[in-house]
Amino acid sequence: MLDELRQTCRRLLQDGAVQAVIGYGRASPDDPAVPVFISKPEDVDQLVWDDRCFANLTKYLSRKEVLSLGKLAICVKGCDERALLVLEKESQIDRSQITVIGLACDGVGQPRLAKCESCDVHMPRRADIVVGKATVPDADAGAKRYAEIEEFLKRTPQDRMAYWKKELSRCVKCYACRQVCPMCYCRQCIVDKNRPVSISTSATLKGNLAWQITRAFHLAGRCVGCDECTRACPAGIDLRLLNLSLAKAAEENFGYRPGMDPDAEPIIGAYSQQDHEEFIR
């Protein structure tokens, strides 16, 4: 599959169809895979693909340092490809200008990351070129989607609040979670505004709670569960749990999973006459 990938990218660059390929590379076998940007056909041998290719490369489609390279091809796993669809719906990318190389994936990480246990997109769904063959997802993989949050929700509210206070007191406001997230593309994040100050920038419990809760809400109905935020956090905070709870709310209340259906309208800002209205009394 790696050969197929490298050949595909070599061809794309040689034909001039793209000016740069965003993919995974590695300096030496023991190093983790890192994002690489290949502009020359002879460099495609730098590309790698294995179960340590964690990064969600779609973030780079919002970075001007990468957009300046010209027409792009991008390697995406199934989970990353969902992010592409959300970006398209939110007018951040012009899909017709990007060559999407889908990588068939059976899961990353040793042991496999939590998100891979319930993955139902082993094969990226809307790629221009698909490389490799993945296994078919388990029939019940999708049903396990919210298992962790359902388990967590069995704890009492006091218990859960104590948990989050403990976890979030470690947050240092490095914003690694925001910077790796493809959905965080605002030119100036709300936390960086001070007229008015909506969220304290201080890494105190108050400032951290405000930041993480706001970010989770801004991702409601948009987060595709790539879990890069959880992996990136140097303070080991389980952001996956927070995002899962809102993803569950979006699916249960509106039947919506971001990045799955090209015809579905994003749920923030759209409405249908069938929407629940229990809050109107």
Partner 1 sequence: MSELLAKKDIVRLVDQWLAAGRRVAGPQCVNAGDPHRQTDLINYTWLTKVEELQLDGFVRPTNTIKEVVFPRHEKLYGYEFKGKRIELVPAELPTAEQIVVGARPCDAAALHILDAVFNWDFKDEFYNRRRELTTIVTLACSKHDDFCFCTSVGAGPCDKRGSDVLLIPLDGDRYEVRCLTEKGQKLMAGATTTSSETAKEPEGPPTRFTLDALGEFLAAGYDRPEWPAVTRRCLGCGACAYTCPTCHCFDIVDEGGASGGARVRNWDACQFTMFTAHASGHNPRSDQSQRQRQRIHHKFQIYPDKFGELLCTGCGNCSRNCPVDMGVLPVLKTIAAKS
Partner 2 sequence: MARIGVFICWCGENIARNVDVEQAATQVAELPGVACALAYKYMCSDPGQSLIRQKIASEHLTGIVVASCSPHMHLRTFRKAAAAEGLNPYLVEMANIREHCSWVHHDRAEATAKAVELIRMAVAKVRCDHALQPIAIPVTRRALVIGGGVAGIQAALDIADAGYQVVVVEREPSIGGKMAGLSETFPTLDCSQCILTPRMVDVGQHPNITLHTYSEVESVEGYLGNFKVTIRKKARYVDVAKCTGCGQCWNACPSKKTPSAFDYNMGTRTAIYVPFPQAVPARPVIDRNACLHFLKGKCGVCAKKCQAGAINYEDQDTSVVEEVGAVVVATGFQLYQIGKERNGDGTVGYGEYGYGEYPDVIDSLQFERLVSASGPTGGEIRRPSDGQVPKTVVFISCVGSRDNAKGLSYCSKICCMYTAKHTMLYKHKVHDGTAHVFYMDIRAGGKNYDEFVRRAIEQDGAQYHRGRVSKITQENGRLIVRGVDTLVGEPLTVEADLVVLASAMRPADGVEPLAQKLNVGYDENGFLSESHPKLRPVETNAAGVFVCGACQGPKDIPESVAQATAAAGKVLVMFGHEKLAREPEIAKVNETNCAACFTCVRACPYTAIEKAEIRDRKGNLVKRTARVNQGLCMGCGTCVALCPSKSVDIEGFTEQQVYAMLESLE
Contact predicate 193/186, CB 8 Å: no
Residue 32: which of 108, 102, 100 has the closest Cα?
A: 108
| 92 makes contact with partner 2 (CB under 8 A) | yes
Beta strands in the chain (DSSP E): 20-25, 34-38, 72-76, 98-103, 129-131
Rounded CA gap, 195 and 215, in Å?
19
63 binds, among partner 1, partner 2, none (CB under 5 to 8 A by kind): partner 1
Beta strands in 65-119 (DSSP E): 72-76, 98-103
2 binds, among partner 1, partner 2, none (CB under 5 to 8 A by kind): none
Residue 238: which of 251, 227, 223, 226 has the closest Cα?
A: 227
Write the DSSP symbol of residue 192.
G
The amino acid sitting at 6 is R
Write the DSSP symbol of residue 188.
S
Rounded CA gap, 141 and 122, in Å?
11
In the region spanning residues 180 to 219, those forming contacts with partner 2, defined by CB under 8 A, are: 185-190, 193, 195-198, 218
| 176 makes contact with partner 1 (CB under 8 A) | yes
3-class state of residue 217 by DSSP: helix
Q: Is the CB of 3 or the CB of 94 nearer to partner 2?
A: 94
Q: Is the CB of 161 or the CB of 190 nearer to partner 2?
A: 190
In the region spanning residues 184 to 203, those forming contacts with partner 1, defined by CB under 8 A, are: 188, 192, 194, 197, 200-203
| 231 makes contact with partner 1 (CB under 8 A) | yes
Q: Which of 91, 97, 156, 273 binds partner 2 (CB under 8 A)?
A: 91
Q: Which of 35, 41, 132, 137 binds partner 1 (CB under 8 A)?
A: 35
Taking the complex as a whole, the smallest distance from the CB of residue 37 to partner 1 amounts, in Å, to 5
| Site residues for partner 2 per CB under 8 A | 90-92, 185-190, 193, 195-198, 218, 265-266, 268-270
| Site residues for partner 1 per CB under 8 A | 27, 30-32, 34-37, 55, 59-60, 63-66, 111, 113-114, 148, 170, 172-176, 178-180, 188, 192, 194, 197, 200-204, 207, 228, 231-232, 234-236, 238, 240-241
